[in-house]
Amino acid sequence: MTQIQRFASRLAFGASALAFITTTASAGEITWWTPNFNEARARELLTRFQTEHPDVTVNLEITTTNGLPERILTTLQSGAAPDLIDVQHPWVNNYAQNGLVIPLDDVLEAREDYNEAALDYVTWDDQLWGIPYRIEAIAVLYNRGHFAAAGLDPDSPPKTWDELLTTARTLTEAGHSGFAITGGGEVGNTIFRSLPFVWMNGGDLLSEDGTTAVINSPEAVEAVKFWTDMYVEHGVSPTSTLENDGTANRRLFIADQVSMYQSGQFDIASIQTENPNIDIGAMMTPHPEGGEPAAILGGWSWVVPTTAENPEDAKTLIRWLAQPENMGFFTDTFPARTSAMELPRFDDPMLQVFGEMLPYGRPLPTHPQYAQMAQAYFDGIQRILIGEQTAQEAMDLAAEDIQALLDQ
């Protein structure tokens, strides 16, 4: 068993209008929405599925992540939803609490083989409302060649915040953007990259009991300022930061313009394909002196809408996709099933750091108004980046907006 397998095994037992036209399903016919980054693998799997299940026709519809939460919510509320949708774990409870998806307890097989934290994400009122297939924790990718050219040791990347800033400045002085943060695109890009800095510093979005907004606490504001200052104060993040999402930062990294950026292992294949000359390094996300790393335990699940026309065949497809060999093939990070980690593809040494980040992964809040809370926080980050407000002012306003949602 590899180190990554051991970590995954440990976790398994531990804690707007419609943008797509959904095909009307008939008996033996279903429509499946999956994001564009899954498309090639989904099509290959469906070829095999339909060979084994010739009585079920699957219409594959490809979504895009930018604006996806709003588009999915719109279709779920419209009464004209597809039969199966890929969604991020944190969205599931909101759907369940609003009666938009059906429970899937009868679909789950070998519960003990699943990452328990991922199952917790999609559980509400003692029922399972999604089947997780992908888990991940973001780390930091870096250009080892840039390190060497700047006189830095590529085998000793920064471990603390002070070291991260010093390294980013050195790399920027050498002609590259030292540490790219995100400021635009889909809200989740910035949540997943900045909120762990708040956690590392002892802050949080909500109080432990989930009743009070605390994103404007001194600990949280200090962390938000440290992260946004990469662009605002220190200029080590690209000039295009306000527009950049994770994909944009990856492209800048491939173009040899960025030296370090936060990402998951899902970016590695693209980098190796588009610029094989880059010597890629991966490091744990740096933490405050005396602290520990933190990450949002992210990933994706399958859900079946309440208004699905053919839920039983959708469940048949989920059961097939959730088989370890199929789940392990489908995900471009780590699978939610421990046994799927036995596939040879997960023995890649480049994945070790991302596996080591998983135990530091935490779930996002599962409040019904979480999406609006995330937007309030994101809007605050943007106000800081454009110089409209200080970190304290922006987080005070974000906290006010979040508290209003909590008090509804």
Q: What is the 3-state secondary structure (H, E, C) of 309-320?
A: CCHHHHHHHHHH
- Token pair, residue 276, equals 């094989």
291 exposure class (CB count in 10 Å sphere: 0-12, 13-18, 19+):
middle
Q: How far apart are CA 314 and CA 322, in angstroms?
A: 12
Q: How far apart are CA 189 and CA 247, in angstroms?
A: 9
Mean pLDDT within 322-332: 96
Domain ranges of the chain: 3-137+297-362, 139-296+369-406
Q: How far apart are CA 292 and CA 160, in angstroms?
A: 9
Q: Is the pLDDT of residue 348 over 90?
A: no
Mean pLDDT within 313-322: 98
Percent of the chain with pLDDT over 90: 82
Backbone φ and ψ for 140, nearest 5 degrees, come out as: -130, 130
Backbone φ and ψ for 355, nearest 5 degrees, come out as: -65, -35
- Token pair, residue 396, equals 């005070």
Q: Is the pLDDT of residue 14 over 50?
A: no
Query: How many Cα neighbours within 13 Å face the side chain of 52?
Result: 10
Specify the pLDDT at position 12: 38
Whether the domain at 3-137+297-362 and the domain at 139-296+369-406 fall into the same CATH topology: yes
Q: pLDDT tens digit string along 41-100? A: 999 999 999 999 999 999 999 999 888 988 999 999 998 999 999 999 988 998 999 999
- Residue type for position 140: V
Q: Which residues neighbour 326 within 8 Å (Cβ) at sequence distance 6 or greater?
A: 45, 320
> What is the band of 27 on the pLDDT scale with cuts at 50, 70, 90?
low
CATH class held by domain 3-137+297-362: alpha beta
Q: Is the pLDDT of residue 104 over 70?
A: yes
CATH class held by domain 139-296+369-406: alpha beta
Specify the pLDDT at position 365: 86
